Amino acid sequence: MRFPKLPNLGLGDRIPSHQELERMEKEEAGDRPKWDNKTQYMLTCVGFCVGLGNVWRFPYLCQSHGGGAFMIPFLILLVLEGIPLLHLEFAIGQRLRSGSVGVWTAINPYLTGVGIASLLVSFLVGMYYNTIIAWVMWYFFNSFQNPLPWSQCPVNANLTDLVSECTRSSPVDYFWYRDTLNTSTSIGDSGGLQWWMVLCLLCAWLLLYVCCLRGIATTGKAVYVTSTLPYVVLTIFLIRGLTLKGSLDGIKFLFTPDLNELMNPSTWLDAGAQVFYSFSLAFGGLISFSSYNSVHNNCEQDAVIISIINGFTSVYSATVIYSIIGFRATERFDDCLEGNILALLNAFNLAEGSIKEGNYAESLQNLNGTFPETIQSLDLKTCDLQTFLSQGVEGTGLAFIVFTEAITKMPVSPLWSILFFIMLFCLGLSTMFGSIEGTVVPLQDLNIFPKRWPKEAITGIVCLVSFVIALIFAQSSGNYWLALFDSFAGSIPLLVIAFCEMIAVVYIYGIDRFNKDIEFMIGHKPNLFWQVTWRFVSPLIVLVIFVFYFVTKVSSNVTYIAWNPSSEDFPTLEVLEYPAWIYVIIFILAGVPSLVVPGTAIFKLIRRCCSNKNVYGAEVDTVSAKVQMFTTKMS
Amino acid sequence: MVSKTLNAPNGYKVRISLKTALGEDAYEWNQSEMFFFQATMAFAMRRHFQMETYNVDNIILCVQTSRVSFWFVVTSPDNTTMLIPKADVEKAVRMSRHRINNAFLLSDRTLEFLGIYPTLAAPVNPDTPPWLIVFGVVIGAVCVGIIALLISSLLQKRRKEKGMTEDGQDEEDMQVKGVENGINLDGTYNRGFTDDDRFTKL
């Protein structure tokens, strides 16, 4: 029984046949770059997949969606959604030996839009992702001093007192919002470029350029460090963390299962979204990387191994992060309690040591019974360890506020700070390699630049243009712009692209042909699991996530949180609504890449109708050989 | 037990936290220590006013609690009924704060004069912020790397171009010699049967 597929003429002429692939393999024909060895390929893919999200998004999701119970939806969706999609991208790249634009154009010229959408998303995401790396570098540069600049409030101008913005919030908050970002109070208030941020941004893009200069020839060497160093640092932090007081409380808090959360649909949605984004799917980078492999590389095994590594890294880094968070929460709790005890001792002139942690509650009750007004006037804070633990933040808040605070409380803080930010830097940089690959290779395939221009020049232009546009993020309002990009550029379009990818391979390329290809490449046909997931399960999951995301975003009032020292609830962040003109930007970020998919198809259709040329004119050209069969420049 | 707010406009409340400062090595606060405090304060007054007439009796202590905290006022050496104004006492304390702290092995935080805030340490401002130095090192290394890679790419290309023009000639010579199946055939190779056009062009 042949699986239904849409009509697709001329496919055989656009793609290399199995015999040609064998021949190319033996002769090593063509000037396509190749991996030096399998390790480079695996490390590059692991580096691309394992990124900042594993460190600062997964732990938060885990903790907020029922701890250990979150593993269940996460692992289920990893198997049903992550692994099949990963295998699909690897296989199609290895088979058609091209980047994203090349692959989809080869499958059907009307699908070029999918490749272009991948290009746009890689470009937009790369821009803001590298800005985060610039922030990491800023913190890294500032870690080479003792005491760390975010450990204490600075003194104000006339040396009378500490800066009030700092005393009202905290030194780490102040350093992040004021010294680093110099953030304005709203997204509309741009506040000009911050020169130190521009320098860090320049450094980040130059560093990326030096690593991506020659494509995988240079990145292949860089990944030996950037993909392995994070694991070393995580292990060091784990060992250090476990020796600190309170770390086990943190780990227990993280993994304590609350099975009721499984009834909550948002748990499953967040798990699905996390698996999806964590695998860096639909960027085009993975397709590109696997196209440099030899034809008979076992892509099925690779997909499974990388998925397992990715899942394991998420859990491992969550453990490490929460051991340190547990330490911080315990320190905060101890400080809070000490502060209260001191206030009581001072107010009632009791001897030191008469109230300790053990008898605090009892003594407080006694005193409250006899002198309630005094107790009231003291304004004691409620110290609850659980509250401090669930101050689990995610994203930049976790890395630059919570974790940096924890580091200041550890002995030899500069060392831990340097290690931590090197780890974040490596995690981010290895993901950027995939982003750049997903931007540069499609540009080459689309022939935007003249063919004789070397790869160095094209990569340089991409880096330069990205740097110039990313200067938006170096303004005072840069943080808000980055949050905007993060919510819209990297979410909806990727889901659309992934869905189209699966439909394209299963229904337009033909799952039967795809199965035969895989049998040719790795020696056996993909088993029932792959068949079911590719045809029904994975597209359905992606569709469901997309619909929910879309509906939530469209129906809710789009707001953002801002740092405003003059707001009432300071230091709590203020919730503001976006101004009207932001919706144009949101449309550009989310709408344009998504609409490019049907848009390009319509554009090509119109062009074909207007010029009335036979699109499949390849039939005439293919009689003499050595032809345009390996390139996919049609119409 | 609750300290009433004393109507002592010229007095200061002192609070001492021995256990916080010294932990296990904390000494016991007794009357001798109080005497020591009086002597230290007298010393501070002498130092500030540069009058050698201040004595232990001029420092009057009251409302001692087990916290340890107490109030003190300073009387003028000439007229014991007259109290030294608060501002002058503050100046004297500020001047000798460091000596007073050290006398008791305490710090600004553990020997508190309520109302006299410790002067904040002036921030140490290095000429170049340390982050700029690290930044300079990193960006210098990166620029050197970029230039090195670009130059090596250029050199590689030039070598390839040179190599290709030489290789081209070698290949032709090989064909003329007629190496077939690895056996060197003697005799001249008939170019007429060379397989240049494997595929007939239309």
Q: Which residues of chain A does B121 touch, with a Cβ-Cβ cutoff of 8 Å?
A: 155
Alpha carbon A635 to its chain centroid, in Å, reads: 36
Q: Which residues of A touch B20 (CB under 8 A)?
A: 352
User: Would you tell me the crossing angle of helices A299-348 and A247-255 to the nearest 10 degrees?
Assistant: 120
| Alpha carbon distances (Å) from A142 to A139, A191, A408, A413 | 5, 23, 13, 12
Report how far residue A174's alpha carbon sits from residue A401's, in angstroms, rounded to the nearest whole number: 9
Q: Please answer whether residues A533 and A84 qualify as being in contact, where contact means their C-beta atoms are separated by less than 8 angstroms.
A: yes
Instruction: Please say if the pLDDT value at position B180 is more than 60.
Output: no
When CB atoms are compared, the residue of B19, B153, B199 closest to A353 is B19
Distance of alpha carbon A339 from alpha carbon A597, whole angstroms: 60
Give A21: exposed, middle or buried? Use CB within 10 Å, 0-12, 13-18, 19+. buried
Closest to A465 measured CA to CA, from A119, A210, A213, A205:
A205
* Closest CB from A196, A210, A350 relative to B146: A210
* Pairing outcome for strands B59-65 and B69-74: antiparallel
A342 three-state secondary structure: helix
- Under 8 Å between Cβ of A51 and A136: no
Is A203 in contact with B139 (Cβ distance < 8 A)?
yes
Residue A280 annotated as binding site: no
Residue B21 has pLDDT above 60, yes or no: yes
Full 3-state SS string of A223-267: HHHHCCHHHHHHHHHHHHHHCCCCHHHHHHHHHCCCHHHHHCHHH
The residues with which A277 forms a beta bridge, in sequence order, are none
Rounded-to-integer distance, Cα A272 and Cα A268, Å: 6
CB contact under 8 A, B131 and A144: yes
Strands B69-74 and B12-16: antiparallel
Phi then psi dihedrals of residue A449, to 5 deg: -105, 155
Q: Give Cα separations from A514 to A104, A299, A511, A531, B191 (angstroms).
A: 14, 13, 5, 10, 46
The pLDDT assigned to A597 comes to 93
Q: Is A260 annotated as a binding residue?
A: no
For residues A140 and A273, give the distance between their C-alpha atoms in angstroms, rounded to a whole number. Answer: 30
Are the CB atoms for A413 and A217 separated by under 8 Å? no
Q: Do B142 and A206 touch (CB under 8 A)?
A: yes
Structure tokens at A417: 């700070």
Decide: A124 and A589 in contact? Cβ < 8 Å: yes
Pair of tokens at residue B97: 């704060």
Cα–Cα nearest to A397, from A173, A67, A80: A173
pLDDT, residue B187, reads 62
Three-class secondary structure assignment of A565-591: CCCCCCCCCEEEECCCCHHHHHHHHHH
| Rounded alpha-carbon distances, angstroms, from residue A114 to A104, A109, A504 | 7, 10, 9
The pLDDT averaged over each successive group of 10 residues in chain A (635 residues) is 76 84 77 87 94 90 86 93 94 92 92 94 94 96 92 81 85 92 89 92 96 89 94 94 91 89 88 91 93 92 94 93 91 90 85 83 85 83 86 81 91 94 95 94 90 90 96 93 88 91 92 93 92 93 90 82 84 85 90 93 90 53 46 42
pLDDT digits (tens, 9 = 90+) for B30-41: 889 899 999 998
Of the two residues B160 and A436, the one the predictor is more confident about is A436
* Chain B: residue whose CA lies nearest to A203: B139
pTM of the model: 0.85
CA distance A181 to A533: 45
Calpha distance A335→A328 (Å, rounded): 10
Q: Contact A206/B143 with Cβ under 8 angstroms? A: yes
Cβ(A473)–Cβ(A482) below 8 Å? yes
Question: Any idea what DSSP says for residue A535?
Answer: I
Alpha-carbon gap, residue A42 to A303, rounded angstroms = 10
Q: Is A278 annotated in some ligand binding site?
A: yes
Residue B78 or A467, more confident: A467
Contact indicator for A545, A42 with CB cutoff of 8 Å: no
CB contact under 8 A, A203 and B142: yes
pLDDT the model gives residue A634: 44
Which tokens is A333 given?
């709790």
- Beta-bridged to residue B183, according to DSSP, are B180
Interchain pair A141, B17: CB under 8 A: no
- Using CA coordinates, name the residue in chain A closest to B129: A142
pLDDT of residue B196: 54
Tell me if chain B has a CB within 8 Å of the CB of A361. no
d(CA B160, nearest CA chain A) in Å:
14
Interchain proximity B199–A214, CB inside 8 Å = no
Helices (H) and strands (E) in chain B, counts: 4, 6
Q: By CB neighbour count within 10 A (0-12 exposed, 13-18 middle, 19+ buried), where does B140 fall?
A: exposed
Query: When comparing pLDDT for A166 and B144, which is higher?
Result: B144
Size of interface A-B (CB pairs under 8 A): 96
- The CA distances from residue A593 to A50, A114, A166, A460, A590, in Å, are 24, 9, 42, 23, 6
CA-nearest residue of chain B to A146? B130
Q: Find the angle CA(A585)-CA(A586)-CA(A589) to the nearest 5 degrees.
A: 85
Closest-CA residue of chain B to A141: B131
- Looking at residue A509, its pLDDT comes to 92
3-state secondary structure of A486: helix
Rounded Cα distance, A31 and A436, in Å:
20
Angstroms from B119 CA to nearest CA on chain A = 7
What pLDDT shows up at residue A382?
Answer: 86
- Tokens representing B158 are 């030039």
Query: DSSP character for A401?
Result: I
Helix axes A38-49 and A413-445, enclosed angle (nearest 10): 110
Structure tokens at A486: 């993060």
DSSP of A583-618:
HHHHIIIIIHHHHHHHHHHHHHHHHHHHHT--TTTH
Identify which of B68, B121, B135 has the shortest CB distance to residue A203. B135
Taking CA atoms, A250 is separated from A52, A241, A246, A255, in Å, by 20, 10, 7, 9
Helix (H) or strand (E) holding B183: strand B183-184
Distance of CA A135 to CAs A52, A130, A193, A203, B95, Å? 13, 9, 14, 11, 44
The CA distance from A281 to A371, in Å, is: 63
Q: Do B135 and A199 touch (CB under 8 A)?
A: yes
Question: Could you tell me if A125 and A431 are in contact, meaning their C-beta atoms sit under 8 angstroms apart?
Answer: no
How is residue A482 written in tokens?
A: 């980055």
